[in-house]
Amino acid sequence: MTVRTLNYTRRKRLVREDLDITVDTSSTGDPVFEAGLQLGEYGLPSDARVFVEAYRQTHWMRFDFGTVAHLKPPTNRTLLEFDSLDGVLFRVRVTSSEEPHGLLLAEGDRIQFRAREERVKKRTSLLPVMPSNLGHEICKVSYENNRPVLLVNSTIGNWRSLARDPVVIALVYPLVLREILTRIVSDQEDWDLDDKNDWRAQWCKFSEKLPGVGSFPEHRDMQEDWIDSVVESFCRRQSVIAKFNLFWKEGNAA
């Protein structure tokens, strides 16, 4: 295992393989998580405090897991703050118990959970859809948790059905796909295409599997053309022209 250090703060980056988050359903039907944390090889102070946080957009829960030397999960690990597990991620933070108190020593972020049973959603979807008060906008892509989420105006009514509507798929999703991929190729942060837990790698792998799309190009001068081929293939597979034509003919039948 390689321990990575973030240069600008000297805090250590916890490797996802050492942070195993599983979610189960309690006898009352509520989601409860467990965290298997392997922190022994990071050289952290034995009395440093360990916290596990669950979050999605503005919703956030924090759980005290004791110290590095004596991990002690709290009795109550129920995720009651979330109406569903769609888009919920976890982070693990280790902070100093000495002066200065609360100094962040190590962190592992954007951790996806595993389901212990099929009753709970097994993994975070590629593009979670969430309701939000968007004023006069219908929908938009948000990166509040540093991964894409499609926000749909909560005043519309059945926002879940809207997100699955063929017309929305035809008009909105190709633009969403292009925006997300453009953001990925312009991201200056280092990321690993082979990291299955990184949302950028997940979107690239999804794109590579589309018919006629090649591998994600490393050279920036080839990435714009690659995005064009991804969106074209997505539109072709989703038959977006046919979906839109059907809507347009029905709307103008009179």
Max intra-chain CA distance, the chain: 75
Confidence (pTM):
0.53
Indicate if the pLDDT at residue 220 is higher than 80. Answer: yes
Q: What is the mean pLDDT of residues 36-40?
A: 89
List the beta bridge partners of residue 32.
24, 78
Count of structural domains within the chain: 2
Summarize pLDDT for 123-143 with one digit per residue, the tens. 457 888 888 889 999 999 998
Q: Are 237 and 213 in contact (CB under 8 A)?
A: no
Domain boundary (82, 115, 148) is at 115
Asked if the structure places residue 122 within a domain, the reply is no
In this predicted structure, what is the pLDDT of residue 118?
41
Q: Are 46 and 67 in contact (CB under 8 A)?
A: yes
**For the chain, percent of residues with pLDDT exceeding 70:** 90
Work out the pLDDT band at 253, boundaries 50, 70, 90. Answer: low
Indicate if the pLDDT at residue 7 is higher than 60. Answer: no
Average pLDDT of the chain is 85
Domain that residue 234 falls in:
129-251
What are the distances in angstroms from CA 194 to CA 19, 197, 201, 206? 18, 9, 7, 13
Determine the Cα–Cα distance for residues 25 and 202; give it in Å rounded to an integer.
Answer: 27
Q: What is the mean pLDDT of residues 158-164?
A: 78
Same domain, 96 and 135: no
Indicate if the pLDDT at residue 146 is higher than 80. Answer: no
Structure tokens at 215: 């591998």
Same domain, 161 and 192: yes
Summarize pLDDT for 173-217 with one digit per residue, the tens. 999 999 999 999 988 777 888 888 888 999 999 999 999 999 999
Same domain, 138 and 235: yes
